[in-house]
Structure 1
């Protein structure tokens, strides 16, 4: 979608609001990171812009750091991002392998977009991030210490705990009834997000890995879009067409293969003990909220960086394959096949690693405490509201 093309419509709406005093007063813009061109519209009306980032604070720092690298004319940033090395990024505790860098920065056109976003971020009045101080202490302190960066307000976790329930209510009930019949913390939940799907070869390896592991499982298996103009998977009418022969029969009673999944309801169920995830930031926040450890299998966008953070820096997840990359814009790009043995190992570790499980339970409690009165995110939202008022008193 061409977001810049929408600026004129927003401009017209705001102008109309300002011409009708009874319709309220525009005191600022809150925009998504990818709608950051709206800063120019806000400036026309002399109101501040607050940028809301749905990813994490470390990723904000990475984006801003890439601009700093680009400003240093001695560095070829694209070449650096495609090299096999590690780079010290201020918002990360440990050096970040370039193999887990956001895929967008590995081309000149993509890097130009990211550096432009970073430039516009610097023009915002403040940056609002869906995270919490206890989860990203280092990243938030790093950003706050840099006076060239606008104030950062961690206000998360912001979650939709209804999770879209009711959209497929009959199917939801069937899934929950099955989970109700399973022992506590015994089920590994495999779900790869709204755009997550695999080719048949990889599906078979996942199935073999699940079978090798021997754990109870709930697998949201989606079909790769047949139309290359769409990135959204669909459900299989008959999943057996891509699964190994006899898999459903051999695992009957042990596991359940479904299509779309009510992720929040599943993660919140007592029977779920592990989550094989694509590492979208919202999914990771949901898993932490419910105290379910993740097995990281990132696929696209900044998910590899999320996975690195969760596995390597924080110890809140285990690894399936941190540098797995699926290029949504190039479905013919070569993709490494993750073997059944790696998958089985990840499942076993996410279900048996008591240290990871302990850390996740602790972070679950901190997540819940952060958003109630007296919590860090509650206080941060209060400071943000004061910031709003300071411009409009």
Structure 2
């Protein structure tokens, strides 16, 4: 039996790497003819990636999924630059080429290099795949609607000569094929509203049109309209195979060997069903001291039980993931922890998937990263949207307006490398969002969330739409293997 070797090239950040590794697991579990090498580039900033890959290596079947760590590279481009991804991947290409050449050399008559599967921001890898004579697939870590947005914006720019950056701070509403509702320009991703980043971003869309296929982390029952629009936008074959989730969640150990998060789960065990609002803003989510105080005031005034993952921003001018506060009291209003001791808990890092799975959690104040969105749907937890960066404003609009699955706190809030804002969301607005989220217990929205929850589970089961789509992807890979 000839086995097909796939080369996975993920972006080395948690939000992209985790879902791509879970995708690799799905493929090898489904078909014994597949094996996968995941090329892990060294990130330019300190992150928690190393601890994740170390724990991962011990749990994988090394004969089927191999993690190949590439040497670090030197690049003078800032991570906040609009051309960061292209420069970073170009710096890594010699190492990638060498690693793939080694894989090809070690292949035998029973194992052949079959395809590259690259991150949505690494489409320049298509040329390298061509050098090895294999097709390329893109793994799209966001929604089908976001894919439609990229393709449509690229057409607007290149065919209709629209300057997309003119939509910045505009009150215009735009018609997009991937949405049934008009889209406010104010929720467009910041990358397309900034002159230095719009061109590199839309170049990805242009290259995606020429690729063999697009693997999207979504499912047909969640985004029927968006998925139906993609062929008309010039997309190649699309394989919706989600929700792809790491349902075991991350684990982190304390110095004494116990697991971080154990005390959180013990606290949740003491709470009533659906009584707790969970606030968590992703691996990059953090706020200024003034904004933290407004969130604290909102929680105190709402009188709802809460679990708040509060992270400390990196030092000014330094690009890094947020860390836990040594003492959160230093940034919270005086006496807040004492006054709320009976109803709430302020923590640092949170085991998000595990928390969302707990029956005590009845609402989720989220940054609307796509992985977090899919987790909230999987566990049937309604969301209050507070996007921060990347395409999260767009995701928030999709959840609130297009799909009717969430309430809004502030849909056009940006806290981004490109569009840092000093705007503070006041406590009253945050409190209103929390109350609407937690007190509409019999709302149509909550019923919809539960319906989509059931669909998210059925779609992965044998005969489900994502199960079938994964099968079609495997057939496509094997039939196009050189």
Q: Which of the five TM-score ranges fits, normalised by the shorter chain? A: over 0.9
Distance 1:166 1:191 in 2: 17
Which residue is equivalent to 1:295? Answer: 384
Q: Are 2:114 and 1:27 aligned?
A: yes
For residue 85 of structure 1, the aligned residue among 172, 188, 197 is 172
User: 1:166: how far off?
Assistant: 4.4
Distance 1:21 1:313 in 2: 47
Residue by residue, what CA displacement relative to the aligned partner does 1:130-189 show, whole Å, maximum 9, x if unpaired? Answer: 00000000000111344x310111000000011112445443110000000000000000
User: 1:74: how far off?
Assistant: 4.1
For residue 12 of structure 1, the aligned residue among 98, 105, 109 is 98
Distance 2:92 2:111 in 1: 22
TM-score computed with the length of structure 2 as normaliser: 0.78
3-state SS, counterpart of residue 11 of structure 1:
helix
Tell me, which stretches of 5 or more residues in structure 1 are unaligned?
none
Which residue is equivalent to 2:33? Answer: none
Which residue is equivalent to 2:158? Answer: 71
3-state SS, counterpart of residue 159 of structure 1:
coil
Once the two structures are superposed, the pairs formed by residues 367-378 of structure 1 within 5 Å of their partners are 367-378=456-467
Distance 1:95 1:158 in 2: 29
**Contact (CA 8 Å) 1:133, 1:377: kept in 2 or not?**
yes
User: 1:352: how far off?
Assistant: 2.0
Which stretches of structure 1, 4 residues or longer, exceed 6 Å deviation after superposition? none
3-state SS, counterpart of residue 190 of structure 1:
strand
Q: Are 2:355 and 1:269 aligned?
A: no
Root-mean-square deviation over aligned CA pairs: 1.5
Distance 1:349 1:111 in 2: 36
Distance 2:308 2:107 in 1: 54
**Contact (CA 8 Å) 2:118, 2:136: kept in 1 or not?**
yes
Distance 2:91 2:260 in 1: 39
User: 1:84: how far off?
Assistant: 2.2
Distance 2:112 2:89 in 1: 24
Tell me, which stretches of 5 or more residues in structure 2 are unaligned?
1-43, 45-87
Distance 1:98 1:351 in 2: 29
3-state SS, counterpart of residue 309 of structure 1:
helix
**Contact (CA 8 Å) 2:191, 2:418: kept in 1 or not?**
no
Distance 1:348 1:255 in 2: 15
Which residue is equivalent to 2:207? Answer: 120
User: 1:73: how far off?
Assistant: 4.8
Deviates more, 1:239-248 or 1:164-173: 164-173
TM-aligned CA distance change 1:19 to 1:236, over 3 Å: closer
For residue 185 of structure 2, the aligned residue among 90, 98, 102 is 98
TM-score computed with the length of structure 1 as normaliser: 0.96
**Contact (CA 8 Å) 2:194, 2:418: kept in 1 or not?**
no
TM-aligned CA distance change 1:195 to 1:95, over 3 Å: same
Which residue is equivalent to 1:384? Answer: 473
Q: Are 2:322 and 1:233 aligned?
A: yes
Distance 1:20 1:334 in 2: 51
Distance 2:249 2:90 in 1: 31
Q: Are 2:303 and 1:217 aligned?
A: no
User: 1:114: how far off?
Assistant: 1.2
For residue 157 of structure 1, the aligned residue among 243, 249, 256 is 243
3-state SS, counterpart of residue 31 of structure 1:
strand
Q: Are 2:208 and 1:107 aligned?
A: no
**Contact (CA 8 Å) 1:17, 1:25: kept in 2 or not?**
no
Residue by residue, what CA displacement relative to the aligned partner does 1:38-85 show, whole Å, maximum 9, x if unpaired? Answer: 111011122110100110000001011111011135422221345321
Residue by residue, what CA displacement relative to the aligned partner does 1:227-279 show, whole Å, maximum 9, x if unpaired? Answer: 52223111111111111111111111100001111101100001000000000
Deviates more, 1:309-318 or 1:64-73: 64-73
